[in-house]
Structure 1
Amino acid sequence: MKKVLIFSGTTEGRKLAMALSGAKIEAVVCVATEYGKEVMPELCGITVRQGRMNTEEMCGLMESGAFLAVVDATHPFATEVSKNIKGSARESGLPYFRLKRETKGAAVPALDGGERELWFSDSHACAKALQEEIKNGGTGNVLLTTGSKELSVYCVDPELKKRLYVRVLPGMESLALCKKEELEGRQILALQGPFSEEMNLAFIHAYDIRYLVTKESGITGGFQEKAEAAAHAGITLCVIGNPEKEPGMTFLAVCRKLEELTGVSIPVKNRMDIVLAGAGMGEMGTRTVETQDAMEKADYLFGAKRLLAGLHAKKETLPYYLAEDIIPVLSDALDQAAGETVRAVILFSGDSGFYSGCEKLYQKLTAWKKERTEEISIRIQPGISSVSCFAAACGMNWQDAKILSIHGKGGRDVWEAEVAEAVRCHEKTILLVSGAKDIRQIGAVLKEAGLSDCTVKVGYQLSYPEQKIDTLTPEACEQVTEEGLYICAVQNASCADRYLAPEKADDMFIRGKVPMTKEEVREVAICKLHLTENSVVYDIGSGTGSIAVEAAARSAKLRVFAVEQKEEAVALIEQNRAKFHLKNITVVHGKAPDALKELPVPTHAFIGGSSGNLREIINVLREKNPHIRIVITAISLETVSEITALLKETEVTQSEVVALQVSRAKVVGNYHLMQAENPVYLCTMQM
């Protein structure tokens, strides 16, 4: 029987060679580089031919009479090679099948505002754009993940070349091209993938990367992990779009065509059943019967080490819970399944839908499934959560509890404001924690927030033989040292409802001699800001910090930056922040607009004082967020005039100017006389 000629160097080509070998169909696999030959497994009936070929050499090989058909499984960006293969096959009279990679399956994260996503038709356009970025003051370095073939395009401009870090395959050909372009050793990252999101982030941080260049190479090419890393780091993702315009064939379609030509069945009806299961607390007794049954039938078990302790799948038990570790194993299992159903179970602690990594993994597995030709089912099975187990052990209900997770959220500065607010406003607050350190920090946070009267129920090693439930004071929590798995519930019998609107009277603030936005104006201004729970607010010209305090008190998730240039006022803001136990206020000592430039992107801004820089402040705010909402107070007609002029010059979607005239009753003998406050103008701008 004549052989099949495969032009490969890709995952798809290796996969086809394995399928043909399994069907006892002989094939010659052509790869361009030594590295391409190294990664090809030794397969019965498969011959690997290394080296680049021109059109004449391709025609000569095809016209030898040894081949039945040609399969083009080259990289989607190797368009010129594909063109030559197709033309040679046509000239030689051989059937030509293009095995095409799907590059649309990888999801790109939604942009949050800090990062950009730029698409280009080719490397030349991308390199030109990067040169322009640098000329216009763009900072940071460029991580090039597009291989070495078009490296020269990015090395033409000396300034761009200086900023390059190139990630290439660890083959002699790639290294030779890097040397040819005279790149320094520190700029060459010769590594073999796949690269996880975490690994990409590590490269970004280690080399001060501000631009990540990638091809639209699909999940197989690690596109999703690079896109997510760029989004999380807030850098620019430069994507070179897939240049392949002609339709290709799926893996299954190619196999069917080869079956017709050879008369031999190629077993590609592999199936996989994947279960993402909540494993309860870890001990066998906290798993559902459904999950236990799936585990007993599994060929592969994945999960954290403690969940796998003492377990044995029919084939393999692997301590993985991240997609980048699990998917390659599942891919290999499908490639070698030979028509069988492969069963895999991935375990998550507690319940699969409660503060679990299950959802993210489910999404990545679903995207991966779209690139496969096999029949793959993905199911989620729930489990017993740590909260339900803990509540039962404590003998309490939890339907009326506030539940928060501080597990893996870093230092207490990240979560203390939210925890203090929850405890202050709820009789029961259940906290998922990382370990003994979190219990100690919770005790300290409660004391500093004036919540020392609370009691803390602490659950240790739930479901395990050493399980215990302790009732502690905040002071006693600070003494916890025994390491293990923890959960706790803070009980506050004196909890008070949180005010939904501003409620602090003027005399509640520490004043000194610093001007303060009066109570009624403050309340209207806060309402006009239209704050949401996760807003980032600038209080510019903060004075005593009354606006900052009222805004921050609306939600612990809300972040407020009180910007003030006077030292006396800065001290008062700090005192008022401490008085009201508001950890979500950051005091910034400096003059706007310069003091704003290094702060996080704002969603809202209140301007109570501008020191004559109102126009400059608004310009900086618009640069940081073109859709910001701004509220400005004014008492002088000159400021009002400047504001109205700005409204005419500035593109806004909504604007409003309101004059507030407040009068307060003053008791004089037996009479109440109304005493007027100075009129205040309130301007609202929605950009």
Structure 2
Amino acid sequence: MIEVVGIGLDGATGLSENVREIVENATLLVGSARHLSYFPKHPAKKLVFGNFLEVIKEIQQHVDERVVILVSGDPLFFGLGRLLLEKFSSEQLRFHPHLTSVQLAFNRIKVPWQDAKVISVHGRSLEELTPLLQQGVEKIAILTDEKNNPSAIARFYLGLDLPTRYDFWICENLEDSQEKVSQFSAIELADLPANNFTDLNIVILLRQSEEKERPLNVENLPLLGLPDSIFLNFQDRPGLMTKRETRLCILGELGLKDGQIIWDIGAGTGSVSIEIARLCPSSQIYAIEKTAMGINLIEKNCLRLQVSNVIPIHGNAPDLLTDLPEPNRIFIGGSGGNLLDILETCQKKIASDGILVLALATLEHLNSSLVWLRDRDWSYRLLQVQISRSVPIGNMTRFSPLNPVTIITARLN
């Protein structure tokens, strides 16, 4: 029988009496140099992990003896257990898990973790983090390595320019006398050298609540092209907003002038409305949004960015459009399944020299919009936006693509 024993930085003292007895009775003791150092007077033959295949061959020669393999934490949690199960039958193995670093880390920062997402970037790519960060997962535990260290993770996160904000907790040497738990913002952490942390660390990301948002100093913000991370966003759908690069294209296609009436249909977080409002302070922008959460976000974002000429309108289009003033410009970013009905109302209400801009993510909406425009004698042009952003990967850089969007710019003939 091969006994696979999880052990922590507290060494032999952290083992239960039964597990300690199993280790003491071993005739072959296998582990890293650190693990074996916890048992300096053990009489068994000791085998230090180096080349995995060579170690496996040595273990196979002693499989009928009392073999104990020492590993960190739980061997079946991002541990050696998976590889051992590929080389030995389950009947030959017995596992004795210790507390995992993830358990210890969440307990140190006193946060329940049953709903946390756990990911290992140990020997892997940081890109595996991207979907979790884009989804705005509330709690993320990250197992690191020397290359994908806490500072590298923070730089990767900042490179994605996401609207969701996280607190970074770094837990080092858990259960050791040198244990250390620290909290950082992403910007603080990104500037720290890799050697600022010990090799044995785990990173916990906790999504910030809206209450932690601070008023913005708008004098330090660009006039055009606000970062996505500026806007408060849907907590359950943080990626649901018009991205900065696409937003810039839309603003250009709208042909804005000051003093206009503008409709933003399906306004979401209000990012497009707020960009227009800052560019054209004497224009009136009607931000039409069907969800109460969206209206709440629009109002909060207007307050944070000190915008007063955006008028949030809660309700379903096209029903409430008939009561709004004639628009010079219309942007449709969302339709709630009522796209063709919305277009009919827009045709009736838009000024004679008005411009209609649609941002469409699906082929079905693109096709139905083009058929509608052709049947009603609108002139139009298409702009397909396929953008990738650079993100740091260790000491290198790669491109991360955004979802493609087709922009239709149309005028009445």
TM-score, with length taken from structure 1 = 0.32
Shift of 1:299: 0.6
When residues 508 and 285 of structure 1 are mapped into structure 2, their CA distance, relative to the original with a 3 A threshold, is farther
2:77 corresponding residue in structure 1: 354
Cα offsets for 1:60-106 (capped at 9, x unmatched): xxxxxxxxxxxxxxxxxxxxxxxxxxxxxxxxxxxxxxxxxxxxxxx
Relative to structure 1, is the Cα distance of residues 379 and 401 closer, same or farther in structure 2, using a 3 angstrom cutoff? same
Q: Deviations over 1:324-364 (max 9, x none)?
A: 12332234336xxxxxx510011221112211121221221
Equivalent residue number for residue 262 of structure 2: none
Q: Which has the larger radius of gyration?
A: 1
Match of 2:166 among 438, 447, 454: 454
Q: Describe the superposition over 1:425-455 as per-residue Cα deviations: whole angstroms up to 9, x where unpaired.
A: 1232221111486111122123333469532
Structure 1 residue 468 displacement after superposition:
0.9
- Tell me, yes or no, if structure 1 residue 384 matches structure 2 residue 99: yes
Which letter maps to 2:97?
P
What CA distance in whole angstroms lies between the structure 2 residues aligned with 1:357 and 1:387?
16
Q: Is residue 30–residue 68 contact of structure 2 (8 Å, CA) maintained in 1?
A: yes
Residues 489 and 331 of structure 1: CA distance in aligned 2, closer, same or farther (over 3 Å): closer
Contact kept? 1:455, 1:491, Cα under 8 Å: yes
SS state at 1:284 partner: helix
AA aligned opposite 1:428? K
- Post-superposition CA distance 1:537-557 (Å, at most 9, x none): xxxx99312xxxxxxxxxxxx
Identity %: 18
The count of aligned residue pairs is: 256
How far does residue 470 in structure 1 lie from its aligned partner after superposition? Answer: 0.9
Residue 290 of structure 1 deviates from its aligned partner by 3.8
Tell me the alpha carbon deviations over residues 595-626 of structure 1, each in whole angstroms, 9 at most, x when there is no partner. xxxxxxxxxxx9x9xxxxxxxxxxxxxxxxxx
Unaligned runs of 5+ in 1: 1-272, 335-340, 368-375, 526-540, 546-572, 588-605, 609-661, 667-674, 676-687
Asked whether the equivalents of residues 119 and 129 of structure 2 are also in contact (C-alpha less than 8 Å), the reply is no
| SS of residue matched to 2:169 | strand
Structure 2 unaligned residues grouped into runs of 5+: 210-232, 254-356, 367-381, 392-397
How far, CA to CA, are the matches of 1:436 and 1:466 in structure 2? 22
Change in Cα spacing, 1:329 to 1:510, as seen in structure 2 (3 Å) is same
Partner of 1:543, secondary structure, is strand
- Whether the aligned pair in 1 keeps the contact of 2:169 and 2:205 (CA below 8 Å) is yes
Q: Is the 8 A contact 2:388 2:399 kept in 1?
A: no
Give the superposition deviation at 1:503: 7.2
Query: Could you say what the CA RMSD is over the residues aligned between the two structures, in angstroms?
Result: 4.2
The structure 1 residue matched to 2:401, chosen from 575, 578, 585, is 585
SS of the aligned residue for 1:342 comes to coil
Matched residues in 1 for 2:66 and 2:365: separation?
A: 61
Matches within 5 A, 1:422-433: 425-433=136-144
User: What one-letter code is carried by the residue in structure 2 that aligns with 1:275?
Assistant: E
Q: Are 2:258 and 1:519 equivalent residues in the alignment? A: no
Instruction: Specify the SS of the correspondent of 1:395.
Output: coil
Q: Partners in 1 of 2:89 and 2:202 — Cα distance?
A: 32
Q: How far has the Cα of 1:285 moved from its partner?
A: 3.6
Q: Give distance in 2, aligned partners of 1:408 and 1:468.
A: 24
Q: 2:152 aligns with which of 418, 428, 441?
A: 441
Which of 115, 118, 134 aligns to 1:421? It is 134
1:406 aligns with 121
The within-5 A match list for 1:73-472 is 273-281=1-9, 283-311=11-39, 312-320=41-49, 323-333=52-62, 342-366=65-89, 377-410=92-125, 412=126, 414-415=127-128, 417-418=130-131, 420-421=133-134, 425-435=136-146, 438-450=149-161, 453-472=165-184
The letter for the 2-side match of 1:297 is N
Q: 1:382 to 1:296 in 2, by over 3 A?
A: same
In the TM superposition, what whole-angstrom CA distance separates every residue of 1:20-60 from its partner, at most 9, and x where no partner exists?
xxxxxxxxxxxxxxxxxxxxxxxxxxxxxxxxxxxxxxxxx
Matched-pair contact (CA < 8 Å) for 2:28–2:62: no
| Alpha-carbon spacing, 1:386–1:281, altered in 2? closer, same or farther (3 Å) | farther
CA-CA distance at 1:518 after TM superposition: 5.5
